[in-house]
Every structure is written in C-alpha cells, then in structure tokens.
Amino acid sequence: MKITNSLDKSKIKFVLLEGVHQNAVDILKSAGYNNIHYYKEALDGEDLIEAIKDAHFVGIRSRTHLSAEVLLQAKKLIAIGCFCIGTNQVDTEAAKCLGIPVFNAPFSNTRSVAELVLAEIILLMRKAVQANMEVHRGLWNKSAVGANEVRNKKLGIIGYGHIGSQLSIIAESIGMQVSFYDIENKLPLGNAKQVTSLENLLAESDVISLHVPENASTKNMINAQRLAQCKDGAVFINAARGTVVDIQALADALKSGKLRGAGVDVFPVEPASKDEPFVSPLCEFDNVILTPHIGGSTSEAQENIGTEVASKFVKYSDNGSTLSAVNFPEVSLPEHSGAKRLLHIHANKPGVMNQINQIFMNENTNIAAQYLQTDAQIGYVVIDVEADDVADTLAKLKAIDGTIKARVLH
Ligand SMILES: NC(=O)C1=CN([C@@H]2O[C@H](COP(=O)(O)OP(=O)(O)OC[C@H]3O[C@@H](n4cnc5c(N)ncnc54)[C@H](O)[C@@H]3O)[C@@H](O)[C@H]2O)C=CC1
Ligand SMILES: O=C(O)CCC(=O)C(=O)O
C-alpha cells in the first residue's frame, strides 16, 4: 500500500465567495477537489468567520475583507485567492506571518477596465450622460454646446501599469494625445509621454483617468487642491480605488462646474451586497456616471480570472509552487513524482534551516531536492525526500521552534 501522509483531497475545504466564475469550480473539481462551498455574495462579521473557520482555501473578490483578526480565526487556512487584481481587502502582511500566501489575477480584467473607461470618456465628452438623463425625464434638449469629439484631446493617465497603458493604446487609436504620470519610469507606448509633474498633467489634460493601486501614497491623492489644479471643464474618471479620491472634494468640483463630468466606479465605502443602499454625495449629479465597481465585471474577465486563480490554488495545493503570490517568497517547483514533498514555512531567524537539515541527517533520509526562498520575515523551504512514510519527519519539522506551518503533499 502507498503511504501518502498528506491530507485526503476530499478533506481539503475550499470556500469561494462573491460568485466567482464557474470555471474556478470546474478547475478545482477536475483536479480532484470536490469539497467546495460556494457563496454568491460577500460575507462579513460572524458569518464570514463561521464560513471560513475550517477552510483550507478561501477565494474572494473585492468586497470581502480578510483582516488580521478574521485570519486568526481561520486556523486551517493554507492560501487565499483574490479573484481580481486588488489585494488591499486582505491584510497580506498578517497572512504572510501566518504562513498563508495570497494569490490574485494581475492581468485578466485589465482590458475590461480600459474599455469601460474609454466608453465613459466619449460619453462624458459628448455630454451624452446628461442628455440621457434629460430625455428619460421627457426633456428634448438638442444642443452641441459643451459637446466635443475626443480626437486631438489630451488624456492624462495617473498610474501607467497594466490598465493605464492599455487605455493609453486604445485612446490613442481614436486620436487622443496621451500623457501619463507614474512614480516609476515606464516605457511609453505609442506616442504617449511620461511627465514628471502631477500638477502639470492635471493642468494640461482634458480628461484625467486614475489607475493607481490603493496604498499609503495614493490615499486621497486627488483632493481639493489637486482638483483646483485641473483644467476648467475637464472630465475626471476613477476606476481605481475609492480611497484615492476625496469624494466630497470631487462633489464640490462638480457642483462648482470646475469639472465637466465624472465617471466613478469605486467608492471609499461600497455596499457589501445589493441589499445595502448606496449613498454618495455624487448621486445628485446628472453629469456623473456611477457604476457599482464593475470595471472588471465582464464574462471574459471573470472567466479568465476564475481559471487563473483556481489554477494557482491547485498548483499550490498539489505542488507547493507559490509563483506570483503577492505576499510570499516565490518558489516555482518541478513535479515531484517518486518523492515525498515536505513544505515548511518558518520565521526567518538563524538556526531554523540547520535544525531542518539535522532531522534528515539523523534519519539518514536522502534529500532528492531542496528549494528555499526567504524574505525579511519568513522562509519557505520545500524538501523532496525518497521515503515512503514521512509522518514522523513531519511531526519533527512541526516541532522546530519558529515553525509557522508544515505539510506534506500528495
Ligand atoms: N474598477 C475595477 O473593477 C478594477 C479596479 N482595479 C484597480 O486598478 C488598479 C490599477 O490596476 P493595474 O493597472 O492592473 O495595476 P498596476 O500595478 O499594473 O499599475 C499601477 C501603476 O500605478 C503606479 N503607481 C503606484 N503608486 C503611484 C503613485 N502614488 N502615483 C503615481 N503612480 C503610482 C505604479 O507604478 C504602476 O505603474 C488596481 O490596483 C486596482 O485597485 C483593477 C481592476 C479592476
Ligand atoms: O471585480 C471585482 O471583484 C473587483 C475588481 C477589482 O477592483 C480588481 O480587480 O482589483
């Protein structure tokens, strides 16, 4: 009989929240994981803790908040998957210190966001958003005043990453002149130009679009002072994160007529479900497109994300690979047929690796391969051994001072 020592696949519990794409479920099932608990909505508070307290893998989108306190209650958690780009809804540092890698899908919905933004730019520049509201109310106000083509207009992109750079290309293809501001030096695509002053970008652009992540440097990056620096009559788009813009300052800039209009997909506080009402000072404006954080919500994007993140779960569960984890030492591993694979996550302090290797020396076990990556806080070592039964070895590894997690793979 083949001894495996590892957890039976049927016992590995996956909790998928926020209606992630069916592809994710299919991929897990085809890899032999059938213990899948699927929720259409986000969960919070006690409901969230109850759902994930004995889960090994948790998949979320942007609405579920996994704080350090919540993670501490999920004692069996092996990995988290954000079925989106942003990982700001997870305390990724706390997860790392608990030995939990966080995976995401860094590209799969970027085209969808860029397309939505482009559509909003055209509609807002044409005043078609107000026109739509007026016609719905029975008002036939046929006018060219304040309506413009986007051809030859200046688009200023803040954050020239995966989304900003794609927007740059498609906006240029319809004749816009693109400049961008980014804290990093970026290769300008097409005829785009990088500028070093955010103030100048705001002053020169007919349209401003934000594509930065949520972090300390971007919190309220667009405030009353920055909005005052914008060109009169500019269009303003935020499909990045709600915390990047002072929402009251944006409402004031719309009320005063400083801005021609805005497209806003993300908000400082977003309802956790469709049962909660949406409240915002932006609701009163006809010249503002408000969308419920749907920048990445297309069939194409969700299907790709479902495949990408579920595949990362399977890879980590079956093989131990942490490639592309956002918070964890990255190890890309070959197959381990013919060997038992032990995974050990530990505090990165002197002596731990010595103790690990000592165990194998004392047992006289042949190490077929060893892979180690560390960062300032943790070390992740993967050891392939030629042995049938590693239950004792695993117990000894778990007993080493500084061990965060240890497991053996199928
Ligand atoms: N509305 C939606 O449904 C979606 C929203 N997003 C949001 O869009 C953000 C951007 O996505 P990607 O382009 O894929 O990210 P990315 O990481 O590829 O690009 C972000 C860019 O912002 C730059 N940046 C960071 N801090 C900055 C600062 N203080 N000033 C100027 N530039 C700064 C970075 O250097 C990088 O080039 C995500 O972090 C996410 O929050 C992403 C997908 C869907
Ligand atoms: O579609 C989602 O759930 C979130 C999209 C998003 O904001 C992201 O990918 O960062």
| 182/283 same-domain check | yes
pLDDT, mean of residues 400-407: 97
Give backbone dihedrals phi and psi of 79, rounded to 5 degrees, phi first. Answer: -155, 155
| 14/73 same-domain check | yes
* Whole-angstrom Cα Rg for the chain: 25
Tell me whether residue 239 is in a domain.
Answer: yes
pLDDT for res 256: 98
Condensed to tens digits (0 to 9), the pLDDT of residues 29-53 reads 999 999 999 999 999 999 999 999 9
pLDDT for res 2: 57
Is the pLDDT at 1 greater than 70? The verdict is: no
| 282/186 same-domain check | yes
| 315/371 same-domain check | no
CB neighbours (10 Å) of residue 256?
10
| 160/269 same-domain check | yes
Lowest mean pLDDT among 219-228, 233-242, 383-392: 383-392
pLDDT, mean of residues 151-162: 98
| 21/162 same-domain check | no
Condensed to tens digits (0 to 9), the pLDDT of residues 306-352 reads 999 999 999 999 999 999 999 999 999 999 888 899 999 999 999 99
Q: From its phi and psi, is residue 99 left (phi > 0), alpha (psi between -120 and 50) or beta?
A: left
| 130/93 same-domain check | no
Tell me whether residue 306 is in a domain.
Answer: yes
Higher pLDDT among residues 1 and 64, named by residue: 64
Site of tokens 């400049």: 179
Quick one: which ligand is closest to 308's CA?
2
Tell me whether residue 351 is in a domain.
Answer: yes
| 140/100 same-domain check | no
Tell me the pLDDT band of 6, cut-offs 50, 70 and 90.
Answer: confident
Q: Report residue 295 CA to chain centroid gap.
A: 13
Tell me whether residue 235 is in a domain.
Answer: yes
Which residues 6+ apart lie within 8 Å of 206 measured at CB? 125, 148, 153, 154, 155, 231, 233, 234, 235
Instruction: Please identify, by atom number, the ligand 2 atom nearest to the C-alpha of residue 301.
Output: 1
Is the pLDDT at 130 greater than 80? The verdict is: yes
Number of domains in the chain: 3
Instruction: Please identify, by atom number, the ligand 1 atom nearest to the C-alpha of residue 297.
Output: 3
Tell me the pLDDT band of 4, cut-offs 50, 70 and 90.
Answer: low
Identify the domain containing residue 158 by its residue range. 110-290
Lowest mean pLDDT among 163-167, 171-175, 361-365: 361-365
DSSP string of 56-92, one letter each residue: SEEEE-SS--B-HHHHHH-TT--EEEESSS--TTB-H
| 132/259 same-domain check | yes
Tell me whether residue 1 is in a domain.
Answer: no
Q: Is 231 in the pocket of ligand 1 (CB under 6 A)?
A: no
Tell me whether residue 394 is in a domain.
Answer: yes
Q: In angstroms, what is the span from residue 322 Cα to ligand 1's centroid? A: 22
Note the ipTM here.
0.99
pLDDT for res 410: 66
Lowest mean pLDDT among 105-109, 158-162, 210-214, 406-410: 406-410
Condensed to tens digits (0 to 9), the pLDDT of residues 357-380 reads 999 999 998 999 999 999 999 999
Which protein residues touch ligand 2 with a CB less than 6 Å away? 61-62, 84-86, 109, 296-297
Tell me whether residue 215 is in a domain.
Answer: yes
User: For position 274, which CATH number holds?
Assistant: 3.40.50.720
